[in-house]
């Protein structure tokens, strides 16, 4: 037996066992699809340059992890050096924990690049610090600050990580309810989850209270004020929200991020020219922001709707030319958004709708199919896709059967939402239209019975179900009489 090989394998196992105990980006199981990496890296770089925060060490650590995923390990080491330099400038309890995360990332990176001696040096640094902090584990620090660090990493890596981020920040806040950083992380996570999933176990007012607390604990943070303004607007308190957005805009900190949220605020208010002015300022600083391109596209889409309403949906002459120009502008921004972030489901839906608006049914169809084929779609997103695809099939493709199929798919996802309600209404209108042409259409009668059942009108539901059954029964009898 070759004892040197045995010894090397034993050393390898020991190092791997220690590495797996660490709390850092390599062990937090961040869910990142390969196609999301370019957009994630861009967002991280934007945050480093434009978001004024006391919590920049974590974002340099995340950048190191992203560079490693791209195979740029030397660049990753450079980012870890930046994180370490920033930690040197800090003199807080949190700085020790941030240092542990950085050292953990160093240890993993050196191990994965076959530099085990350097990996061991950083493992020893973690061990010494854990001992100094009287931590029961040699390599794994359990504390609210570490939960917070994990929360920030998860939060930055997209919607599939938000629920876990919420758990991390909530756990940290339970230990220290008045901590400004924990409160900020929790409020941002709740805001994102509330936006992503309306049935996430809390409602708008709950989210508003979390943001209000974060604003109280971080009075100089313009970014959190802008989110608070948007949530107030969502809950029908637009005038109050505008006070906060204007206050955020007066501050120099995080100005580019505040501009982005101002675009959304004034777009929803209907002040589209004002929204587009803020968009121009923000795009100048961050030209690759998928979020910003999507918001800008939505501004142009809203301008189209304004003209259509003003012309009673029959634009002519100059109005028609303006709509054509606006469709091109909106389409360009939506195309850029999905190119930059290939998992941006809502942007795909809006892009498909713009293609349909332009009469390019082939591109609209392809875009709807692309988003329908995505993996792990949230229920609300899936409802939205089926509803808008159904509208496209009904009104542009004139395919009633296929439209009904997709409205039904939206309705059969039982999560309450605006799109589900609209799908029920669309189903009702469409089957009633079919029944006016053929009152003996058993399938349409059955679907109408289902619609009334969903609406809670049980007598009507039974009536239509019985009609459908009678027709089906008569049809079977007549088939039986055939020679």
> What pLDDT sits at residue 311?
97
Counting every residue written for the chain, the total comes to: 483
Q: Produce one character per residue of 108-144: b if its CB has 16 or more CB atoms within 10 Å, e if not.
A: bbbbeeeebeebbebbebbbebbeeeebeeebbbebb
Give the number of other CB atoms < 10 A from CB of residue 188.
22
Please report where in the chains the tokens 């099939």 appear, as a residue.
393
Cα distance between residue 208 and residue 187, in whole Å:
8
> What pLDDT sits at residue 475?
64
Domains of the chain are 1-142 (1.25.40.10)
Cα distance between residue 344 and residue 293, in whole Å:
11
Cα distance between residue 308 and residue 293, in whole Å:
23
Main-chain phi, psi angles of 358, to 5 degrees: -80, -5
Give the number of other CB atoms < 10 A from CB of residue 374.
15
pTM (predicted TM-score):
0.91
DSSP state of 201: S
Full pLDDT tens readout for the chain, 483 residues: 443 443 456 577 789 999 999 999 999 999 999 999 999 999 999 999 999 877 689 999 999 999 999 999 999 999 999 999 998 887 666 788 899 999 999 999 999 999 999 999 999 999 999 998 877 778 999 999 999 999 999 999 999 999 999 999 999 999 999 999 999 999 999 999 988 765 444 467 899 999 999 999 999 999 999 999 999 999 999 999 999 999 999 998 899 999 999 999 999 999 999 999 999 999 999 999 999 999 999 999 999 999 999 999 999 999 999 999 999 999 999 999 999 999 999 999 999 999 999 999 999 999 999 999 998 888 889 999 999 999 999 999 999 999 999 999 999 999 888 999 999 999 999 999 999 999 999 999 999 999 999 999 999 999 999 999 998 777 655 444 343
Rg (CA), the chain: 28
Instruction: Return the SS3 of 186.
Output: helix
Main-chain phi, psi angles of 141, to 5 degrees: -90, 125
Give the number of other CB atoms < 10 A from CB of residue 377.
16
> What pLDDT sits at residue 90?
72
Chain centroid offset of residue 226 CA: 18
Cα distance between residue 142 and residue 149, in whole Å:
11
Cα distance between residue 447 and residue 426, in whole Å:
12
> What pLDDT sits at residue 7?
47
Cα distance between residue 111 and residue 20, in whole Å:
12
> What pLDDT sits at residue 12?
76
Cα distance between residue 390 and residue 113, in whole Å:
51
């Amino acid at each position: 037996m070759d004892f040197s090989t045995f010894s090397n394998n034993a050393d390898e196992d020991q190092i791997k066992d220690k590495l797996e105990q660490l709390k850092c980006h390599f062990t937090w199981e961040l869910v990142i699809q390969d196609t999301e990496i370019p957009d994630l890296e861009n967002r991280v770089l934007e945050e480093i340059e434009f978001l004024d925060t006391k919590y920049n060490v974590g974002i340099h650590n995340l950048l190191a992890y992203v560079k490693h995923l791209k195979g740029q390990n030397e660049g990753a080491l450079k980012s870890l050096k930046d994180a370490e330099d920033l930690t040197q400038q800090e003199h807080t309890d949190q700085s020790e924990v941030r240092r542990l995360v950085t050292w953990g990332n160093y240890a993993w990176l050196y191990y994965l690049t076959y530099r085990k001696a350097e990996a061991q040096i950083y493992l020893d640094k973690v061990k010494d610090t854990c001992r100094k902090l009287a931590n029961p584990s040699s390599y794994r620090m359990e504390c609210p600050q570490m939960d917070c660090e994990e929360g920030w990493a998860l939060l930055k890596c997209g919607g599939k990580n938000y629920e876990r981020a919420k758990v991390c920040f909530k756990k940290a806040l339970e230990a220290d309810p008045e901590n400004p950083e924990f409160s900020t992380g929790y409020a941002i996570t709740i805001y994102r989850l509330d936006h992503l999933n309306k049935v996430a176990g809390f409602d708008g007012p709950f989210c508003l209270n979390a943001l209000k607390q974060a604003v109280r604990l971080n009075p100089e943070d313009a970014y959190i004020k802008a989110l608070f303004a948007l949530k107030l607007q969502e809950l029908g308190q637009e005038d109050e929200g505008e006070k906060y957005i204007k206050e955020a805009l007066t501050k120099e900190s995080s100005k580019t991020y505040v501009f982005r949220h101002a675009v959304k605020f004034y777009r929803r208010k209907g002040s589209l020219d004002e929204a587009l002015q803020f968009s121009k300022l923000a795009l100048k600083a961050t030209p690759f922001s998928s979020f910003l391109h999507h918001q800008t596209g939505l501004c142009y889409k809203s301008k189209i709707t304004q003209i259509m309403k003003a012309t009673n949906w029959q634009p002519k002459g100059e109005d028609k030319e303006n709509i054509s120009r606006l469709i091109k502008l909106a389409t360009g921004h939506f195309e850029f958004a999905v190119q930059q972030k290939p998992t941006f489901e809502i942007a795909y839906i809006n892009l498909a709708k713009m293609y349909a608006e332009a009469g390019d049914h082939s591109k609209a169809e392809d875009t709807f199919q692309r988003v329908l084929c995505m993996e792990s779609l949230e229920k609300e997103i899936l409802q939205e896709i089926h509803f808008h695809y159904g509208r496209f099939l009904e009104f542009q493709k004139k395919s009633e059967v296929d439209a009904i199929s997709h409205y039904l798919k939206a309705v059969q996802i039982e999560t309450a939402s605006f799109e589900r309600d609209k799908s029920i209404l669309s189903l009702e209108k469409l089957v009633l239209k079919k029944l006016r042409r053929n009152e003996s259409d058993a399938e349409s009668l059955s679907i109408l019975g289902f619609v009334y059942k969903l609406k809670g009108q049980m007598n009507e539901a039974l009536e239509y179900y019985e009609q459908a059954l009678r027709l089906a029964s008569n049809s079977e009898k007549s088939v039986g009489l055939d020679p």
